Amino acid sequence: MTGKEYRTITDVKGPLVFLNKTEPVAFGEIVTIRLADGSIKNGQVLDTSDDLVIVQVFEGTAKIDRTAGVTFMGDVFKLPVSKDLVGRILDGAGRPRDGGPDIVAEENADIIGAAINPFSRQSPHDFIQTGISAIDCCTTLVRGQKLPIFSASGLPHNDIALQIARQAKLKGSDEQFIVVFCAMGITAEEYNFFRSDLERTGALENAALFVNLADDPAVERIITPRLALTAAEYLAFEHDYHVLVIYTDMTNYCDALRQIGAAREEVPGRRGYPGYMYTDLAMLYERAGIVKGKKGSITQFPILTMPGDDITHPIPDLSGYITEGQIVISRELHQQGIYPPINVLPSLSRLMGSCIGADTTREDHKSVSDQMYAAYAQGRELRGLVAIVGEDALNERDKQLLDFSGVFEDRFLRQSRDEDRSIDETLDLCWELMSSIDTKYLVRLDQKWIEKYHPDNKA
């Protein structure tokens, strides 16, 4: 089939090209389009029938006219994968962007990715120490988890992601992650920030980058994360690597989806995003995990910016329904000058329960984390009340909790960008800070841990 060039385009609309009078074309088949000036664009079949074929063009349809030549490549989109992907920088369609040679394929992998059989999964349970207290204590990351960062424009989510990439390790092990970094529509400046940081720390040699920037074709963003995840799967499940996939910004990805849906005149779902966006996102996020009989793993750190800081916006909302928790970045904390400005209250790690405790982190972790959380939550709530009735109306307990909420932000949350706290340091710090509250109010702490870890008893 490959080779035959059709000049039967009937319509061009948004990112879509419609053509007819083709021989049978496969659903999902890869397409190249040759323009009059000799330049080439790529695309993929979205709808196919005897009468009409609809092609989504990754690079946008600018300059395509009815004389353009369309060739069907006979196969669905595949990425040449190889161990040599490590240390390389590719563009959003998988072509070298670092001036290096083409990837010599050990295998050509279908980028859609097959679903992992739920029966074949293994429950993640290995604690990853990120060195960031708020995460390690309150929303503990587990190897094989998909844990997004819900952020918003102007907030330091990139710094946090990079700090995690630099510091993440299994407790008591030096084993490093391979980072697969996937940029979707971010600015060149943001990209350079990531790249130079990875370069500075030497992590670039252990990373594979897939880069689609703000001025690259928007529709290409549909495939960029699929390429990155295909590479990640290959490295994890064929070569036993522990892979950390960071992708940013999911919001740009979703906007590209919306653009295609609109061009197809689909019935839009909420805020114009396609009704199938949940499924589409799941096909990315669910490519995290650990499977039976394979040594490697895929941990995902998607970053998304919430339009209008709104967590109910379809992008964070649908993501939260799929991922195994979320880390929420707060503008308010950021404005108070706190880094990392993580609001632990709406943050959650759904897998935390499986990776904390005596055998993995420390016996008091659960108890401490519950108490830190509860005390901070109550303290924060009291701030609202104080604003109305004044601090004098508070009883002793409430006063202590109110003060604690300040200390929590100032000493527990706040740490520097290169401060790598061990889990023991984090938990000891928790005890130190909680000791400002009378123990009779610390009802979530087990008596036995109070006896063992409370500074009053330790001395």
Partner 1 sequence: MSKEGVIYRISGPVVTATGMSAGMYDVVRVGDEGLMGEVIELHGEKAVIQVYEDTSGIRPGEPVINTGETLSVSLGPGLLTQIYDGIQRPLPTLEEVMGVFITRGVDADAFDLEKKWTFEAVVEKGAAVEGGQVIGHVQETETIVHKIMVPPTMSGVVKNIKSGDFNVTETVCTLEDGSEIQMMQKWPVRTPRPYRQKYAPDTPLITGMRILDFLFPLAKGGAAGIPGPFGSGKTVTQQSLAKYSDAQIVVYIGCGERGNEMTEVLDEFPHLIDPNTGKPLMNRTVMIANTSNMPVAAREASVYTGITIAEYFRDMGYDVALMADSTSRWAEAMREISSRLEEMPGEEGYPAYLSSRIAEFYERAGRVETKNGDDGSVTVIGAVSPPGGDISEPVSQGTLRIVKVFWGLDAGLARQRHFPAINWLNSYSLYPQSLNQWFRDNIAQDFPEIRTQISGLLQIEAELQEIVQLVGSDALPVDQQLTLEVARMIREFFLQQNGFHDVDAYCDINLQYSMSKAILSFQEAAKNAMAAGAQLNDVVNVPARTALMRGRFEKGYIDTIDDMVKTMVDEIGATVEDN
For residue 11, the cross-strand partners are 18
**What number of other Cβ atoms are within 10 A of residue 192's Cβ?**
11
Verify binding: residue 353, partner 1, rule CB under 8 A. Answer: yes
Verify binding: residue 312, partner 1, rule CB under 8 A. Answer: yes
- Nearer to partner 1 by C-beta: 214 or 385? 385
Minimum gap (Å) between residue 189 Cβ and partner 1: 32
Residues 227-256 touching partner 1, rule: CB under 8 A, are 237
Which residues lie closer than 8 Å to 4 by C-beta, 6 or more apart?
Answer: 23, 71, 72
The tokens describing 288, both together, are 């995290």
Minimum gap (Å) between residue 353 Cβ and partner 1: 6
Verify binding: residue 393, partner 1, rule CB under 8 A. Answer: yes
Under a CB-based contact definition with an 8 Å cutoff, are residues 204 and 138 in contact? Answer: no
Under a CB-based contact definition with an 8 Å cutoff, are residues 113 and 231 in contact? Answer: no
Verify binding: residue 457, partner 1, rule CB under 8 A. Answer: no
* Polymer length in residues for the chain: 459
Verify binding: residue 34, partner 1, rule CB under 8 A. Answer: no
Q: Which of 175, 189, 387, 395 binds partner 1 (CB under 8 A)?
A: 395
Q: Which of 118, 172, 308, 337 binds partner 1 (CB under 8 A)?
A: 118
Residues 143-202 touching partner 1, rule: CB under 8 A, are none
Stretch that binds partner 1, among 7-15, 95-103, 330-338, 388-396 (CB under 8 A): 388-396
Minimum gap (Å) between residue 26 Cβ and partner 1: 5
How many residues sit close enough to partner 1 to count as binding (CB under 8 A)? 73
Minimum gap (Å) between residue 99 Cβ and partner 1: 33
DSSP string, 353-377: GGT-STTTS-TTHHHHHHHHHHHHH
The helix (H) or strand (E) run that includes residue 263 is helix 250-263
- Nearer to partner 1 by C-beta: 36 or 115? 115
Stretch that binds partner 1, among 168-176, 209-217, 238-246, 309-317 (CB under 8 A): 309-317
Give the contact letters, 262-301, x = binds to partner 1 (CB under 8 A), - = no: ----xxxxx----xx-xx--xx--xx-x-xxxx-------
Verify binding: residue 11, partner 1, rule CB under 8 A. Answer: no
Verify binding: residue 119, partner 1, rule CB under 8 A. Answer: yes
Q: Which of 385, 419, 420, 428 binds partner 1 (CB under 8 A)?
A: 385
Verify binding: residue 317, partner 1, rule CB under 8 A. Answer: yes
Q: Which amino acid is at 369?
A: S
The tokens describing 65, both together, are 């006219």
Alpha-carbon gap, residue 303 to 225, rounded angstroms: 12
Under a CB-based contact definition with an 8 Å cutoff, are residues 78 and 95 in contact? Answer: no
Residues 45-104 touching partner 1, rule: CB under 8 A, are 46-50, 75-76
Cα(first)–Cα(last) distance of the chain, in Å?
A: 80
Helices assigned H by DSSP within 169-223? 188-200
Question: What's the distance, CA 160 to chain centroid?
Answer: 12
Which strands make up the sheet holding 242-248, listed edge to edge? 89-91, 207-213, 178-186, 242-248, 297-305, 149-151, 325-329, 342-349
Could you give the count of Cα atoms lying within 13 Å of 459 in the half-sphere of its Cβ?
A: 5
Minimum gap (Å) between residue 266 Cβ and partner 1: 6
Which residues lie closer than 8 Å to 392 by C-beta, 6 or more apart?
Answer: none
Verify binding: residue 116, partner 1, rule CB under 8 A. Answer: yes
Stretch that binds partner 1, among 83-91, 111-119, 219-227, 409-417 (CB under 8 A): 111-119
The tokens describing 12, both together, are 């061009």
- Nearer to partner 1 by C-beta: 172 or 384? 384
Residues 318-337 touching partner 1, rule: CB under 8 A, are 318, 320-322, 324-326
Verify binding: residue 10, partner 1, rule CB under 8 A. Answer: no
Minimum gap (Å) between residue 418 Cβ and partner 1: 31
Opening angle at CA 148, ends 312 and 134, nearest 5: 100
Cα-based distances in Å from 25 to 5, 18, 52, 54, 73: 13, 13, 10, 10, 9
Minimum gap (Å) between residue 358 Cβ and partner 1: 15
The tokens describing 43, both together, are 């695309």
- Nearer to partner 1 by C-beta: 204 or 434? 434
Minimum gap (Å) between residue 226 Cβ and partner 1: 12
Verify binding: residue 117, partner 1, rule CB under 8 A. Answer: yes
- Nearer to partner 1 by C-beta: 27 or 436? 27
Verify binding: residue 43, partner 1, rule CB under 8 A. Answer: no
